[in-house]
Amino acid sequence: MLELLWLLLPVAAASGWLAARKHHRQARSGDSVNLLRFSSDYFRGLNYLLNEQPDKAIDVFIKLIDVDSDTVETHLALGALFRRRGEVNRAIRVHENLIARPSLDAAQRNLAVLELAYDYRRAGLLDRAEALFEKLIESEEHRDYAYHQLLDIYQQEHEWGKAITTAEALASVSDECLNTVIAHYHCEQAEILLQQQLYTQAQETLQLALQCDPLCVRASLLEGELALTQAQWQQAINAFQRVGQQDNDYLSEIIEPLQTCYQHLGRPTAFIAYLQSVLNTDAGMTPILELAKILKAQQGEQEAADFIVKQLHKRPSIRGLDFLLDLALSNSSSITHEHLLLLKDMTTQLLKNRSIYQCSHCGFRGKTLHWQCPSCKQWNTIKPIQGIDGE
């Protein structure tokens, strides 16, 4: 309460100065009654404030400052202060009182509506905030910002249809290219349809995503998963292999499902050929390790070890070293075995605790692939980590 007292004292001082200036003009014209009433109200507000009754003090100061061109900014500042302090209900009262005044011009009213929309959103009253931001779309000054606020609300509420419509409207009136974001909105819809087993609608929605953004990796991965669900192995292969053409940083996400598809089709050599085709494309360790496992099964551990050593010279990797240690442990002497076992334990712990994905926008790291970063809320910025401790 003491902190709130210090917050309101400057507001009280500003209220007194603005109101006194106005009433001083009235007093010079002979309106001494109003001046006396001002003094009484002002000191009554101060008394509430000093007696730790901030709600009553707020009411007095709001009524004391008549809304005109001199005091609108004071009301806006007072409400913003309350909102920043977490006193959202008080902020709402200030801004609702301001909007109710008929003397505001269009620019002032839009500012007050914007502040009230902030208040509602901060209070979790998203429907009310949405309605106010929709009004602000009609204002050219606040239009783009209102569209962005609406997009944030629709994302929070998972209203993907509204998000698509709003993003398309924003793109049509601004220079922003939102194709990537809109494609993700379509993918969000497709995931819901997949959960509901509405496969035809899901496929149609994924096609809309790819029309919006032909490089949408997420849409291709979902299309591959959809084909897997329906045992459409070749269609799944086509979708997964498209990922490598869209962004080979995501190749690690498709190796396992591709192997499943080729196994069901009885075409293991085709899978090997695909792995070999991506070796020189900075595809990371996942296809290399998969090839090493096949070499071990078909030609023995020595061939697999030679292959891994050759690849590690080109692309140092903890995952590659861990696989090599596994091979060495299987046929080492007892003394060497103990040393290798220690190294193996270390690499196992490193791999167990490491992050697999990282956001290129804010640096957020995690073990799960998110298409929207949980930290900075950007879309399509998280990828598998590359380098010695990554792919």
Q: Which residues participate in the annotated binding site?
A: 359, 362, 373, 376
Tell me the Cα Rg of the chain.
32
Buried b (16+ CB within 10 A) or exposed e, 202-235: bbebbebbbebbeebbbbbbbbbbbbbeeeebeb
With H, G, I as helix, E, B as strand and everything else as coil, classify residue 9: helix
Residue type, 372: Q
Structure tokens at 34: 């109003």
Structure tokens at 6: 């210090």
Q: In what order do the strands lie in the sheet with 382-384?
A: 365-366, 357-359, 382-384
Binding site feature residues for Fe cation: 359, 362, 373, 376
Note the helical H segments in 29-68: 32-50, 54-64
- Residue 187 CA to residue 320 CA, distance in Å, equals 34
- Residue 344 CA to residue 21 CA, distance in Å, equals 80
- Residue 23 CA to residue 21 CA, distance in Å, equals 6
Q: Give me the DSSP letters along 87-116.
A: -HHHHHHHHHHHHT-TT--HHHHHHHHHHH
- Residue 355 CA to residue 382 CA, distance in Å, equals 12
CA distances from 77 to 73, 104, 139, 147 (A): 6, 16, 21, 24
Residue pair 192/174 in contact by the 8 Å Cβ criterion:
no
